[in-house]
Structure 1
């Protein structure tokens, strides 16, 4: 195939985006794509336009692009599990502190926390942040309660009610603790302590297994992707971001095992972005995920590229998720581990602006780069090349981590 032929190999593409642990409506991802695609097009010199899709069973949008002289049509679907996320976050303040204790115990008692620190300290610090922040909020609330109780008891003594003053002070002080905790929770859009605590607790509660309602939703995801594979598209691309990456690994493994990927059908590709797979695969009951990692890593029916960046403190940057989980088979082919290299692909000014905005950087993979390298989310999702062609011959990042440090490597119960 000549380069000119390769540039025209995709005229129709289906993209399925699996978000991470996110309670927000998928409209957020459409607007992010619209805004950032326009910015990248202006920088890189191509044309791309988006319009909402009406009347479909799943939420998505339609993309038209013209790159390298060729036109491509892309249908993007967001595979939604935000309702499951919201349900898991519907916990009282007391229940959240119980989650904190259970989650810390799970990661410490299994040794997973210490093994994860041998890979990357950034995501472990990110995991410890909600623990520290929630404990700090509790300490501050208790201090407010203590001060309120002391002042109340003193006032009653001065008023001549010394006998009951300590009890009244204790009651008033205790009642002051809850309003402070409520105040913090209502402002969690600034602190992200409850949000992150629920995220890590969701993984830890089942020891690395998926809850039944999530397994049922993943089966629906698989059916949606299988439907696209039966169409006349040139490529079906699955994108899994953050926690969505390990969901995609299992969904795709199930599809391939079930023989739902046609040899004469669209090319199947998988792009994992900012993955946090070890947070799950290092837990004792993550048998399914470890088996799926091993299976997908040697599959000939798929192209899998994993993109992370050391500047993303919330991801296990450049950690080969199969290898570090200790399940790399002899015939391992995937993933191709590539760095988005934020410090190089963002200009010094832009990097300075974003460097300490950790949550924003975790979404940078879905955004425009003002000094783009060979990773361009919009060329991948809306351009005329298949993922396999675009990165054919691309070497994996030299600084990738492949050492197996997982204690739990069993792939069945």
Structure 2
């Protein structure tokens, strides 16, 4: 845990935020930004009801798909926030269009890379629950492969049993394999095997710089963040990365810090990662852009980075202290970031909701983006529309 007095040196946060710019970085998700617009609009109303205020959200005129305006009427005056959804869903859509047989072959290379670079062993040592669940799609893929081999063997055996050449069983085997492939796609609506394998492949490409399309997209995002962070009319610029968007947002903010100029009266820049799975991108022995970006932000005293986790969520990594976990070489500089904090799901959600979500892993992972049932430090929509800057909310030990 980084002490609050050591986390930031320049540009103290304002006592009260009136104008904020938020850049929301989703995870690896083929759904369009409209999904998040509808989610944020619905949950903002619940947040407002909990606090007894009025809050509204509307799409921007220039870019209604990804730019949204939030106004919250607090007793001390309104807070206005512009939310930019830094969507990269086209990357996921592109990946999901790749034939499954090619995905399967590429996944073997990615798995070998994760083993050879020590990523798998490091994740298991750091947190066995997260490590095991990260390997879940590979376990399911092995079951699918065994089912395919069993199907082929059964067809060949049946052909021989009825007096036909055994190779005659290849025709029905091919039809059966096609049907099995279609079945796995249907099952993915519940088990997310292909989804998680594609997520692993994207992370591998990002880590090894094999995705120029994604790199160009993230570079443009960094320039937008840097431009906003030079706007003196803003009180706070906040970048929020969820799930795989955590390590993407780390890369974006690190690049934005390189692009930023020193402007008098510029707003406070802060990064908040929630439900992050950064070890998949950083834990290996080999250097990577995400690792270099993380190393830069850890020692950056000119901005704030807060990392929220939920130990109940197997899709995120709890209590991740990057310097110790990844053996970062800080070159003698003191660590400034991140402040690692629990979202305390047990305290902020009702017993009924908590029990309902306990074994629905994907839904539990998205509770980070939902309104609370009870007041607490972690309130996603207070970070978006509240009058306090992030640093004031997270000043006390987490």
Q: Does 1:96 align with 2:103?
A: yes
Q: How does 1:132-281 map to 2 (within 5 A)?
A: 132-154=139-161, 157=162, 162=163, 164-205=164-205, 207-209=207-209, 211-231=211-231, 232-260=233-261, 262-281=263-282
* C-alpha distance in structure 1 between counterparts of 2:262 and 2:84, whole Å: 19
Per-residue deviation, 1:263: 4.4
> CA 1:287/1:101 → structure 2, altered by over 3 Å: closer, same or farther?
closer
* C-alpha distance in structure 2 between counterparts of 1:191 and 1:52, whole Å: 33
**Partner of residue 289, structure 1:** 290
> CA 1:367/1:23 → structure 2, altered by over 3 Å: closer, same or farther?
same
**Partner of residue 400, structure 1:** none
Q: Does 1:64 align with 2:67?
A: no
Say if 2:235 and 2:268, in contact at 8 Å, map to a contact too.
yes
> Quick one: which of 354, 360, 364 aligns to 1:361?
364
What runs of 5+ residues in structure 1 fail to find an aligned partner?
Answer: 1-5, 398-413
> CA 1:364/1:263 → structure 2, altered by over 3 Å: closer, same or farther?
farther
* C-alpha distance in structure 1 between counterparts of 2:206 and 2:228, whole Å: 32
Measured against aligned partners, the alpha-carbon deviations of 1:105-147 in whole angstroms (never above 9, x if no partner) come to: 1111222211111112232222211111122223223334444
> Quick one: which of 300, 317, 338 aligns to 2:341?
338
Mean Cα deviation higher: 48-57 or 300-309:
48-57
Q: How many residues align?
A: 383
* C-alpha distance in structure 2 between counterparts of 1:324 and 1:263, whole Å: 37
> CA 1:142/1:325 → structure 2, altered by over 3 Å: closer, same or farther?
same
Say if 1:208 and 1:280, in contact at 8 Å, map to a contact too.
no
SS at match of 2:280: helix
Say if 2:137 and 2:193, in contact at 8 Å, map to a contact too.
yes
Say if 1:240 and 1:248, in contact at 8 Å, map to a contact too.
yes
> CA 1:71/1:275 → structure 2, altered by over 3 Å: closer, same or farther?
same
Mean Cα deviation higher: 56-65 or 314-323:
56-65
* C-alpha distance in structure 2 between counterparts of 1:305 and 1:263, whole Å: 25
Per-residue deviation, 1:377: 0.9
* C-alpha distance in structure 2 between counterparts of 1:45 and 1:206, whole Å: 43
**Partner of residue 79, structure 1:** 86
Measured against aligned partners, the alpha-carbon deviations of 1:231-268 in whole angstroms (never above 9, x if no partner) come to: 31111111111121212222222222233353411111
Per-residue deviation, 1:7: 8.9
Per-residue deviation, 1:325: 1.6
Higher RCO (C-alpha under 8 Å, 6+ residues apart): 2
SS at match of 1:363: helix
Say if 2:207 and 2:288, in contact at 8 Å, map to a contact too.
no
Give the structure-2-normalised TM-score.
0.89
> CA 1:345/1:210 → structure 2, altered by over 3 Å: closer, same or farther?
farther
Say if 2:222 and 2:256, in contact at 8 Å, map to a contact too.
yes
* C-alpha distance in structure 1 between counterparts of 2:68 and 2:205, whole Å: 34
* C-alpha distance in structure 2 between counterparts of 1:256 and 1:7, whole Å: 20
**Partner of residue 32, structure 1:** 39
* C-alpha distance in structure 2 between counterparts of 1:242 and 1:291, whole Å: 19
Say if 2:19 and 2:80, in contact at 8 Å, map to a contact too.
yes
* C-alpha distance in structure 2 between counterparts of 1:31 and 1:269, whole Å: 25
Give the structure-1-normalised TM-score.
0.86
Say if 1:209 and 1:285, in contact at 8 Å, map to a contact too.
no
Q: Does 1:23 align with 2:26?
A: no
Q: How does 1:262-411 map to 2 (within 5 A)?
A: 262-327=263-328, 329=330, 330-392=333-395, 394-395=396-397, 397=398
Say if 1:207 and 1:284, in contact at 8 Å, map to a contact too.
no
Per-residue deviation, 1:328: 6.0
> CA 1:335/1:264 → structure 2, altered by over 3 Å: closer, same or farther?
same
* C-alpha distance in structure 2 between counterparts of 1:37 and 1:210, whole Å: 38
